[in-house]
Structure 1
Amino acid sequence: MRRPISWRRVVQASLAALWVVWAVASWWTAPREADPAQARADLAAGRIQSYQYGDTWNGGTGFSWNHHSSLRSWSSDGPLLVWTTPGGRVHYTITDDVAGEDSGTDAEMLRRELLASEAGRGVPTGALAPLTSMSGVLILAFIAILRFGPAPVIGTRWFWFWVVLGVPLGFGFVFWLARERPWRTAATDFSEGGDRRRRWYAGFAIGIATTFGASVLVFVLNGALGEWLIPAMLLG
């Protein structure tokens, strides 16, 4: 007689599947650097669906996999051009000048062509943006289970809090799904020697160390494999 499937396994598998969807969508829609020639080619082919000018990216790698970069702009349009193409891809490039300067330059001509095109002007988020927002849902589910579920065994609740929020790309979340209760039925480790679970400061240190390590790894892989496969802004 087959044993019934545990609801915990169903929830575990569902959360893992949602993380995979989120991770793939985040990789696919991560802003990829291009050159102005690519912007002109996409515009000429009608591939630019929306675009926005700005001065710089606000954010970069943050101490949370729920952290996303956003485009910042001051009083006038800046030299950073961001656009989306069919399929939800986001690209950006640095144009040659700021709006209003040297109106005969290629950058100003590109700006005018964009204004005359059918591309919508607005914050380019890509068609898969709702999927990249699922990290918030996963984090809320994690916090609810951590708070109201059985006491964790490997580390304290605060340990897992910092690991899951701090380890980039949600790999701390995956580690929690694979190793900790309620997904594992290991007995508590509160033996005669006392509570040996990992404390909050260990989780905090793991988050910082992995954030730094992931930044270095992305930088190295970006140089070795290219922007298409490993975008420099993969960590948001």
Structure 2
Amino acid sequence: MITPPHDTARLGLARLRRRAFPVAVVVCWLVWAALAWWTAPRAADQAEWDRDLRADRVVTWSRADGWATDVGAWGRRPRPRYASEGSMVVWSRPDGQVRYASVGAPDGGAPYGSDPVDDPLAQAAGSRGGVAPADRLAGAAGLLGAALGLGWLVVLVTGPPPVAGTRWYWFWIGSLPLGVGLLAWLYRERWRGDVPSAGPRRTGWAGLGWLLLGGLVLSATVAGLGELLGDYVVPAW
């Protein structure tokens, strides 16, 4: 049977709309990933801290004694645990990147340049007003990540029933770190949503199991890549 031209055009338009949505989401995810990667704190040493001070590459700085643990599933930039007597200094640069280094406590007799409280160059850097480029970029990444996560949840709840798994299954899968679960849902349920499932739909319990296993695998993979490629390429989020 020959399909009428107008039906063919309608089917082609529907297929185009199905393809446009996942492509748009992937583009947004790539933008988020680039922003989050760029603004992630990277380890440095005291020498780099001193060089950035003298080259006027310190926009903001603060002392801390470590990092807060509430990073979140979308790899939000970790927050320093601010402490005036902390042995770590965290600073942002004009290019929007963040560095941190261990320089010793303020009363530890550390060399010139390592104590921002006593260093006039650091005092000048720390007195600058406005929002640092690193904070603006990290804020944009946070908003984009929240919009992607919320948008995915709305589509999951209000959209047509998923093909490969129940809504609870995809809810747990979508909770995988760094948006990996969202990409898996996008590929199976949107890019290949017209392909029937080979078996019964997976349940929420299966999704929870894959979340626990996938979280461990992703954490180990990121840690391994960090050891192999270095902190700059794979920041320790």
Same fold, TM-score > 0.5, yes or no: yes
How far did residue 202 of structure 1 move?
A: 1.9
Percent identity over paired residues: 32
Query: SS at the partner of 1:54?
Result: strand
Q: Which runs of 5+ in 1 are unaligned?
A: none
Q: Which is bigger in relative contact order (C-alpha 8 A, separation at least 6)?
A: 1
1:112 Cα offset (Å) = 2.1
Does 2:17 match 1:7? yes
User: Residues 111, 154 of structure 1: CA spacing in aligned structure 2 closer, same or farther, 3 A cutoff?
Assistant: same
Task: Report the equivalent of 1:78.
Answer: 86
Q: Is this contact kept in 1: 2:103–2:110, CA < 8 A?
A: no
- Determine which of 140, 146, 156 is the counterpart of 1:146: 156
Question: Could you say which residue in structure 2 is the equivalent of 1:43?
Answer: 53
Which residue is 1:156 aligned to? 166
**How much does 1:103 deviate?**
4.9
**Does the C-alpha gap of structure 1 residues 199 and 103 become closer, same or farther in structure 2, counting only changes over 3 Å?**
same
Higher helix share: 2
Q: What residue is the counterpart of 2:40 in the other structure? A: 30
Match of 1:91 among 77, 99, 102: 99
Equivalent pair of 2:174/2:185 in contact (CA under 8 Å): yes
Deviation at 1:47, TM superposition (A): 0.7
Match of 1:230 in 2: 234
Specify the alignment match of 1:19 in structure 2: 29
Letter in 2 for 1:170: G
Which amino acid in structure 2 is aligned with residue 18 of structure 1? C
The gaps in structure 2 that reach 5 residues or longer are none
Q: 1:118 aligns with which of 125, 135, 143?
A: 125
Q: For structure 1, which segment, 168-177 or 211-220, has the greater mean C-alpha deviation from structure 2 after superposition?
A: 211-220
1:132 aligned residue:
141
Q: CA deviation at 1:84?
A: 1.1
Q: Deviations over 1:97-137 (max 9, x none)?
A: 2x3x2356447644322542234479974442133111110
Deviates more, 1:211-220 or 1:17-26: 211-220
Q: What TM-score do the two structures reach when normalised by structure 1?
A: 0.82
SS at match of 1:16: helix
Aligned residues, how many?
223
For the 8 Å contact 1:80–1:93, the answer to whether it is kept is yes
**TM-score of the superposed pair, with normalisation by structure 2:** 0.81
Q: Tell me, yes or no, if structure 1 residue 54 matches structure 2 residue 37.
A: no
Q: Which amino acid aligns with 2:40?
A: A
Residue 60 of structure 1: how far off its partner (Å): 6.3
Q: 1:121 to 1:53 in 2, by over 3 A?
A: farther
Return the offset for 1:184.
1.5
219 and 181 in structure 1: CA distance in 2 versus 1, 3 angstrom threshold: closer
Amino acid at match of 2:174: V
